[in-house]
Amino acid sequence: MSAGTVSAIQLLLAHADDDQPALADGIAGDTLGAGAAPARLPVPAQLRNRGGDPNDLDGQRWALIVPEGEAGARLEALVKPLVDKRRDDQGGRDVRVYRVPAQMDADAALRWHREVYLDEELPEGELPFYQLILGDLDQVPLAIQQVQMLDGVVGRLAFADDRGYEAYVAKLLAWERTPSPISRARSVFFTAHDGTAATELGHQALVGPALAIARKDAATGNFAAADIVELGQPGRPATPDELVAGVAAREPAVLLSVSHGTGAPRPGWPSPDAQRRLQGAMSLGKAGKLTGDDVATRAFLPGGLWLMFACFGAGTPADSAYRPWLERLSQLGQFGGAIEPVVRSLPAGPGFISALPRALLANPDGPIGFIGHIDLAWSYSFQEPDAARGARNRPRRFTSVLHYALRRDRIGVAFRELVSSALAADTELATLYGDQARRGAPIDAAQQTRIAHLWMLRHDLMGHVLLGDPAARLPITPAPPAAPRRATPSDFFPFAVPGDKPDR
């Protein structure tokens, strides 16, 4: 692509009724600069220099964030075996529990972070870096999770009934007691080759380059996978059964996938229950879709970690960060009404975690962690448009997540790679806004477009959330360190002739 040309921005969203893309041709990158002036973002908290091993719970601490009142107390009781285990992991110290209101916007969440989490009376060493949220988005707001992500590692568990919480805890603790005897996990890459522009770009700019990086790094010992596997073939969409079979092995693995996520049917969702059951399911084009019901009782990535790139894969927020921009495009008559189906898939009620990851995490033969989008998923996260330099692929953000998970870092630590990229976008945004304030004049069209692109990148990256305990790690057994070799005279006298006795 030549400099000065911005490629189309693709959306990974398909209609529930026919699995066709909601935005078949994407959105021209240059559109962002017209009518899409983003609001100034709040300055996030910066990571503190914590020092020490980030995987050490004794030094980093682990906490719960639960709803206020009886609901929170009930959820806390359901995960008591996990709380007891984490108490032991942090040297017998009590697990801190934070109780939060159900309704909080970003400003309220930032204030809670400053005034409650950053308690001046609490020694720095006792601030919990690991935080597990219990409850759906209408119980503990998404804003809390996204704010706390900036200064810690945060995961969430949200199930439709008590059995889901109990099943996940039992699965995780069983894996921690008896990990797999393998010392290295598989790394699996999958593209839903459904013939659409969005998944084609996902394969060309993310999955294909990620595979190349993984294989190159594995050859030099920097990608600790037992095997690197690609599922899915161009020109023939995989069926749900084929995908399930490809990740059904008992040994833990990591999976990176690109597909459309299921959005509203063309007439709109018939009911909130239908939206909760299907929105965010993996769309495989003409081959159908992979839903929560499909994986509730079948082996799918046992003990593993799934990084799913698709719209609403992790959940649907109470409102979309992109609604004002999309509605503005619609009002301007852009794209001949093609935006309307996307707008119909946006939230219209309480937010919720998708049925697919809920079913997988509650499944005894499912993964211990899931990373996915909790809003629309654009191609920004893996391909950044830039009018001056052309589009730039960014697959290492995702291979880094896999890299850290494969070497048995806790999955919250691995997930921080995506958060760090979002913080970098925030820093550049702050710099551009500061430059505008110093000059005291409107910014030019090129800068306005750059700000709009950075705003989209920041929100696309922050749309990823971690579901599952952030302190979980792939349940594999590290190979024992090599026995130390006995020193010989040549170690100290490298020029000694074999058989000679060194001078003393």
Instruction: Give whole-number Cα distances, 204 to 191, 200, 211, 212, 395, in Å.
Output: 10, 6, 11, 11, 10
Q: Which residues pair with 175 in a beta bridge?
A: none
* Residue 307 lies inside a defined structural domain of this protein: yes
Q: Is the pTM of this model over 0.85?
A: yes
Can you tell me the distance from the alpha carbon of 469 to that of 145, in angstroms, rounded to the nearest whole number? 13
* Residue 376 lies inside a defined structural domain of this protein: yes
* Residue 480 lies inside a defined structural domain of this protein: no
* Residue 231 lies inside a defined structural domain of this protein: yes
* Residue 370 lies inside a defined structural domain of this protein: yes
Q: Compute the half-sphere exposure of residue 321: CA atoms within 13 Å on the CB side of its CA.
A: 25
Q: Judging by beta carbons within 10 Å of its beta carbon (0-12, 13-18, 19+), is residue 441 exposed, middle or buried?
A: exposed
pLDDT tens across the length of the chain (504 residues): 333 444 567 888 888 888 888 877 666 655 554 444 444 444 444 444 456 789 999 999 999 999 999 999 999 999 999 999 999 999 999 999 999 999 998 899 999 999 999 988 888 778 999 999 999 999 999 999 999 988 899 999 999 999 999 999 999 999 999 999 999 999 999 999 999 999 999 999 999 999 999 999 999 999 999 999 999 888 787 899 999 999 999 999 999 999 999 998 988 889 889 999 999 999 999 999 999 999 999 999 999 999 999 999 999 998 888 887 777 666 665 555 566 777 777 777 789 999 999 999 999 999 999 999 999 888 877 877 765 566 778 889 899 999 999 999 999 999 998 887 777 777 777 777 666 667 766 666 666 667 777 777 777 888 899 999 999 999 999 877 655 555 554 433 433 333 444 443
For residue 407, the enclosing domain spans: 13-32+181-467
* Residue 148 lies inside a defined structural domain of this protein: no
* Residue 109 lies inside a defined structural domain of this protein: no
Three-state secondary-structure class, residue 402: helix
* Residue 349 lies inside a defined structural domain of this protein: yes
Domain total in the chain: 1
